[in-house]
Amino acid sequence: MADGSSGARPKLVVASANPDKVKELVALLGQRYEVIARPDDAPETIEDQDSLEGNAIKKAIEIAEFTGCSALADDTGLFVEALDGRPGVYSARYAGEDASYDDNVTKLLGELEAAGAVDVEDRRAEFRTVVALINPDGTGVTGEGSIQGTIVAERRGDGGFGYDPVFQPDEGEGRTFAQMPTDDKHELSHRGRALVALEQGLQRL
């Protein structure tokens, strides 16, 4: 890890330009790392890989090369069984390149309705996140986390972001991610689990 001198938290530059993701990563990692925001002048990464891991690694490599610091990137996908795994790796831009969170949720609910997926058992889904930490010398590690759940018929809750208002994790006591306090969501979430796996990978290096 770069800048890991005694007593100092190691520095990580977050590759994501999504402020909601950055806020969540700071909440998850802020006690262990000095989390630094993506520089405003960093070039945009074209997410053209066919896997979450590929996109996460590509984003982290480009930011590590640009900043000269260790970089942390993630890619997250929602995989819905009734939609043959869609939106999957295209979750962030499901309704188009400039789609809002609400646009993506509206498209998801519309496609499930069109597919006749009305009953709970027909609306099974999985959130998956891959995080990648890449050092300036090109070494690094990845971690993956996932959580099973269902897509509810209507938006519930005001918290979170993305698909959180319609994703009800199996372990969430009937709440969507958007209905959970932040600490509860972090304890269960795919992103939190991916970061735990990343930490375990770092310890093995």
pLDDT digits (tens, 9 = 90+) for 71-81: 999 999 999 99
Mean pLDDT for 96-113 is 96
pTM over 0.85: yes
Domain 11-204 sits in CATH at: 3.90.950.10
Residue ranges per structural domain of the chain: 11-204
Please tell me which residue in 40, 41, 75, 122 is annotated as part of the active site. 75
| 125-163 residue pLDDT tens | 999 999 999 998 989 999 999 999 999 999 999 999 999
Is 122 catalytic? The answer is no
Confidence bin at 4 (pLDDT 50/70/90): very low
Burial of 7 (0-12, 13-18, 19+ CB in 10 A): exposed
Confidence bin at 205 (pLDDT 50/70/90): low
Distance set, CA 17 to CA 87, 112, 139, 188 (Å): 21, 30, 23, 24
Distance set, CA 142 to CA 27, 97, 126, 152, 202 (Å): 19, 26, 19, 31, 9
